[in-house]
Amino acid sequence: MTNKLIGLRLSKEVIQKLEIIAHNNNQTINFVAKNAILEWVEILSRVRQQGMMILGKPLTKNLLETIDVKKLKSLAETTAKRNVDFYQFVLGKHLSKETLSDFIKYTPKLLGHTGLMWFEHIEAMREEESVHFKGIHNLGEKWSRFLIFFFNYLMEQYFNLELNEENIKYTNNSLYLEYKL
């Protein structure tokens, strides 16, 4: 892909935010701005292609509180299926055991504060015998349960990994899952 230089006018406030992010991550302002634009274009184009819309967190939380567990699981699995296309688009690869490391690396970017903002903080890591997901959010217990169903669907369908039932931990604002390799 050929790069082209463009110029942007940004407010002082935006430039200050970019400087803070760049400083905190030991990056240049140009790098931070370029990645912010790329990530936003990626997410927005995928949302539009799939006929999705972006909902605010308070509305999402209120909607989840009204549905039962069976419908919650169905919603989570449908959401996971739609996100598979997005993962594959971003990674440029089909999800499989061979792409598990890429999936683990990209998940915090996609679901964390630089992506869909499902989490305030999320970590995904692979160890010798397991894969761990842990995160903090502010959407309530039903959201934690939604995320369990979401990750279970992806991990079972695409990576053939089983949830370690003994190590499920979730509250109204946190989640910890462990999958056996």
pLDDT digits (tens, 9 = 90+) for 29-72: 999 999 888 878 877 887 787 777 778 899 999 999 999 999 99
Alpha-carbon Rg for the chain in angstroms: 18
Block residue for tokens 């462990």? 178
Q: Which pLDDT score, from 0 to 100, does residue 175 have?
A: 96
pLDDT digits (tens, 9 = 90+) for 15-40: 999 999 999 989 999 999 998 888 78
From the list 114, 139, 149, the residue with the least C-alpha distance to 57 is 139
Q: Which pLDDT score, from 0 to 100, does residue 74 have?
A: 97
Q: Which pLDDT score, from 0 to 100, does residue 1 have?
A: 66
Q: Residue 88 — pLDDT band, cuts 50, 70, 90? A: confident
Q: Which pLDDT score, from 0 to 100, does residue 158 have?
A: 93
Q: Which pLDDT score, from 0 to 100, does residue 41 have?
A: 85
